[in-house]
Amino acid sequence: MATLLTELHQLIKQTQEERSRSEHNLLNIQKTHERMQTENKTSPYYRTKLRGLYTTARADAEAECSILRHALDKIAEIKSLLEERRIAAKMAGVNSDNDPPRKTMRRGVLMTLLQQSAMTLPLWIGKPGDSPPPLCGAMPASSDYVAKQGDKVAARVKAVDGDEQWILAEVVSYSHSANKYEVDDIDEEGKERHTLSRRRIIPLPQWKANPETDPEALFSKDQLVLALYPQTTCFYRALIHTHPHRPQDDYSVLFEDTSYADGYSPPLNVAQRYVVACKENKKK
């Protein structure tokens, strides 16, 4: 971890150094345009000069972009290592016979963690011409995709009253021979474990989609989805009211609710992290 953090620090320093180095060239571009406006002409000299300045500016921007991508990759490595440690600590607690039972997490703490998870979901930043990958925003997982241990998913389980519901769960394991997952209800901290077939699992997005560059990776208005109801750990059917307009924006959704005259709740905000395609297309 210390090595990764040191490498990230160096990349951040390189980014700032690259940005500072390119500022002189950007200032030259600005001054050249100001001279052209003052002289009210575009001579071959200025055209040639600007062409060279813009070529340099593009090269500088690409160099800075490359460093930033390396930094993002390093952050992903750090988050992955932290997740591995969290899972290892959790499994050690589950498998230990000597330790006392773990207490259920307070709901306020859990809700805060879910919000943080949504806010820190990485934004997909592709290169020019790249298409959003599977599990970016509304993009579905590939047909052979298997969620990893520790991944958060929407899981369809039977409730105490016998009804079925979609809950937020964490993958414990996957059996290729049985084609089934073992998942923990995120709200029960390991007290409630379910064995479910693949069709009862929907992986959550691994990246946020950028509305400005990849609008096709967002759910469209009036599309039927499953969305995590605010301050709960359950997914319910909803219609997209408005989709995000900026990377940091949430969806606005209308939950199915028979207590309202039109059958839907007022618009509520739900983060991209917790909105997935609804497998049941027909309205109940």
Give the model confidence (pLDDT) of 222-252 as tens digits.
999 999 999 999 999 999 999 999 999 999 9
Pair of tokens at residue 213: 């560059």
Task: For residue 211, give every residue at least 6 positions away whose Cβ sits within 8 Å of its Cβ, in sequence order, or none.
Answer: 218, 243, 244, 245, 246, 247, 249
Report the alpha-carbon distance of residue 125 to residue 132 in Å, rounded. Answer: 9
Distance in angstroms (rounded) separating the CA atoms of residues 128 and 72: 17
Residue 214 and residue 133: Cα distance in Å, rounded?
A: 11
Tell me the pLDDT band of 279, cut-offs 50, 70 and 90. confident
Quickly state the pLDDT bin for 99 (edges 50, 70, 90).
very low
> Helix H segments across the chain?
2-39, 44-95, 107-119
Which pLDDT band holds residue 92 (cuts at 50, 70, 90)? confident
CA angle centred on 250, ends 208 and 70, rounded to 5°: 25
Start-to-end C-alpha separation, the chain: 50
DSSP state of 120: T
Residues 169, 154 contacting (CB under 8 angstroms) = yes
Longest dimension (CA), the chain: 84
pLDDT tier at 190, thresholds 50, 70, 90: very low
pLDDT at 280: 66
* Tens-place pLDDT, residues 197-213: 999 999 999 999 999 99
Q: Hey, what are 65's tokens?
A: 């972009």
Q: What is the C-alpha to C-alpha distance for residues 87 and 149, in angstroms, rounded to an integer? A: 8
Q: Is residue 205 within 8 Å of residue 135, measured between CB atoms?
A: yes
Measure the CA dihedral 242/145/280/217, to 10°. 20
State pTM to two decimals.
0.79
